[in-house]
């Protein structure tokens, strides 16, 4: 049973439809205690980072305990940003801190050819190899089976940095982390539930990890 964490800012309807299409059982827990019995946790999100304040200490503690016990956690959009230490969008609001780094405003470009927010389809790029060698194939479990250069759907203004946890980046005037993976912790800046076959493959991979 997948637990969809509802903190009032997530696009739960679209995620529910995608999970239903994949034949997955899910629930929306009313209490943090329910996180401990789930086979996987998904934290979706849209809008402002400050909305994550609804996930107070009881939820943070419960999600942290579940992850430490081996329960896979997937953050989507703002839900992914929440996995990091924080965001400049709401400097006083702490993230969950499972991944190092802070999310920052995308810069766009001087001529405003590429505007912020970044809305629409864009390509996923595997990380570059050592010493800047060409990108290799997608690594890790979350992006397994994706074709070369898949397009996925974004809508955001802030983004996470490219770190060693980044398994795919995207460029919109600058490069940012589009997908991250560390142990049982996964995140995607884009919306897999709105990203066609590629997005469904990613959600299918996550469900297989939870199984």
Note the pLDDT tens digit of each residue in 46-74: 889 999 999 999 999 999 999 999 999 99
Out of 181, 184, 191, 210, which one is annotated catalytic? 191
Q: Is 136 a catalytic residue?
A: no
Instruction: Please name the residues in contact with 186: beta carbons below 8 A apart, sequence gap of 6 or more.
Output: 72, 73, 74, 75, 142, 179, 180, 206, 209
Out of 77, 103, 166, 210, which one is annotated catalytic? 77
pLDDT at 108 over 80: no
pLDDT at 81 over 60: yes
Q: Lowest-confidence range among 97-111, 126-140, 192-206?
A: 126-140
Out of 35, 184, 193, 210, which one is annotated catalytic? 193
Residue whose structure tokens are 């996180």 = 35
The share of the chain scoring above pLDDT 90, in percent, equals 78
Q: Is 208 a catalytic residue?
A: no
pLDDT at 135 over 60: no
- Angstrom distance (rounded) from CA 105 to CA 160: 9
pLDDT score at 78: 96
Q: Is 191 a catalytic residue?
A: yes
pLDDT score at 113: 72
Note the pLDDT tens digit of each residue in 84-96: 999 999 999 999 9
pTM for the whole thing?
A: 0.93
pLDDT score at 46: 84
CB atoms under 10 Å from CB of 67, counted, come to 19
pLDDT score at 138: 83
The DSSP H or E segment spanning 110 is none
Please, are residues 142 and 181 in contact by the beta-carbon 8 Å criterion? yes
Give the architecture-level CATH label for domain 2-210. 3-Layer(aba) Sandwich (3.40)
pLDDT score at 11: 74
């Amino acid at each position: 049973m997948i637990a969809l964490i509802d903190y009032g800012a997530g696009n739960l309807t679209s995620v529910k439809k995608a999970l239903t299409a994949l034949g997955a059982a899910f629930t929306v827990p009313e209490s943090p205690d329910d996180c401990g019995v789930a086979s996987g946790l998904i934290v979706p999100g849209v809008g402002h980072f400050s909305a994550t304040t609804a996930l107070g200490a009881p939820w943070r503690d419960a999600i942290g305990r579940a992850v430490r016990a081996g329960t896979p956690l997937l953050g989507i959009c703002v839900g992914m940003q929440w996995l990091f230490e924080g965001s400049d969008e709401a400097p006083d609001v702490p993230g969950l801190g499972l991944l190092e780094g802070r999310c920052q405003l995308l810069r766009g470009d001087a001529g405003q050819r590429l505007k912020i927010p970044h809305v629409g389809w864009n390509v996923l790029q595997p990380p570059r190899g050592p010493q800047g060698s060409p990108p290799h194939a997608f690594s890790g479990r979350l992006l397994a089976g994706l074709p070369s250069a898949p397009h996925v759907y974004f809508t955001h203004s802030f983004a996470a940095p490219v770190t060693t946890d980044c398994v795919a980046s995207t460029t919109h005037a600058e490069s940012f982390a589009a997908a991250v993976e560390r142990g049982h912790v996964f995140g995607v800046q884009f919306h897999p539930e709105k990203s066609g076959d590629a997005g469904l493959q990613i959600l299918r991979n996550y469900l297989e990890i939870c199984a």
